[in-house]
Amino acid sequence: MKLATFTYKGRTGIGEVIDDRIYPTTWSESMQYMIRRGLMPSRRNQSVPLEAVQLQVPVRPSKIIAIGRNYAEHAKETGSDLPKAPLIFAKFPSTLIGHGDTISWSESITQQVDWEVELAVVIGKRAKDVSEEDVFKHVFGYTIANDVSARDLQLRTDGQWTRGKSLDTFCPLGPWIVTRDEITDPQNLNLKTTVNGEVRQEDNTKNMIFGVAALVSYCSRMFTLEPGDLLLTGTPSGVGEGMKPSVYLKDGDTVTVSVEGIGELTNPCKATA
């Protein structure tokens, strides 16, 4: 199933996306609460065109856990050694925006805003000390994240990854969640980023250093993963920081990130003084 949080005629609910239509479901609470309850909604018979609704952030978790330098070529383009263990950092939930929402920043704070397409794992069942063999029993599904990053803050101004990664609007997410049963192998999905229609990133999740099972298992040994939590699995090469010379997002740009089997997530950019 493709499950979306959407607003239509002033009302917000959960719907199942089939082709170019969305079918409202019988579930009226939030996606996170539904996942926590271990429920799966059933769709109603009536549907509306997908273009008629406003897609929202599909789930609002209590934690967003992200992984850095999880593709060898990305580590190389940033001049970094390959990590011996997953490099974990956090993004604040206040970074979340949905499909079509605006990535915005003040140029008085940052002038080096970068893109990062990532496969995002949605946790479905509480996970603590989970083995790699049992990981997928704890996965609800997958979605797309853009780990937008202020490189000057992250790498040069003071080196604080949390600040550089957690400005408001710096985690576009969506456009929906694809349930686990629809993606049988998360380690064979094509990823792509375009900026104003120009391809910037293109790779496959098979090239992760640490795969989904290893990441979820490792993180569950460090801290408890709760239903609805997000795990961003890292970005491939092709980020603006790694270009020669470096290229960053600017006011008026449009960035689209896509993951095979899920869809496309598009957001315009707005920079203010």
DSSP secondary structure string for all residues of 150-161: EHIIIIIIS--H
Rounded Cα distance between 125 and 223, Å, is 14
Residue 200 has pLDDT above 90, yes or no: yes
The answer for residues whose C-beta is within 8 angstroms of residue 11's C-beta and 6 or more apart is: none
Of the candidates 250, 251, 112, 257, the residue with the CA atom closest to the CA atom of residue 171? 257
Q: Element (H or E) spanning 212, and its range?
A: helix 212-222
pLDDT at 22: 97
Rounded Cα distance between 48 and 270, Å, is 30
Q: 5 near 56, Cβ under 8 Å?
A: yes
Architecture of the 2-55 domain: Roll (2.30)
Q: What residues does 14 pair with on adjacent strands?
A: 5
29 pLDDT band (50/70/90 cuts)? confident
260 pLDDT band (50/70/90 cuts)? very high
Segment 159-170 shows an average pLDDT of 93
pLDDT at 97: 98
The answer for residues whose C-beta is within 8 angstroms of residue 244's C-beta and 6 or more apart is: none
pLDDT at 123: 98
Residue 39 has pLDDT above 90, yes or no: no
159 pLDDT band (50/70/90 cuts)? confident
pLDDT at 19: 96
**pLDDT over 70 for what percent of the chain?**
100
Domain ranges of the chain: 2-55, 64-272
77 pLDDT band (50/70/90 cuts)? very high
CATH number (3.40.50.10420, 3.90.1300.10, 2.60.120.10, 3.90.850.10) of 64-272 reads: 3.90.850.10
Residue 158 has pLDDT above 90, yes or no: no
pLDDT at 216: 98
Residue 229 has pLDDT above 90, yes or no: yes
Segment 107-132 shows an average pLDDT of 98
For the chain, helix, strand, coil in percent to 5 are 20, 40, 40
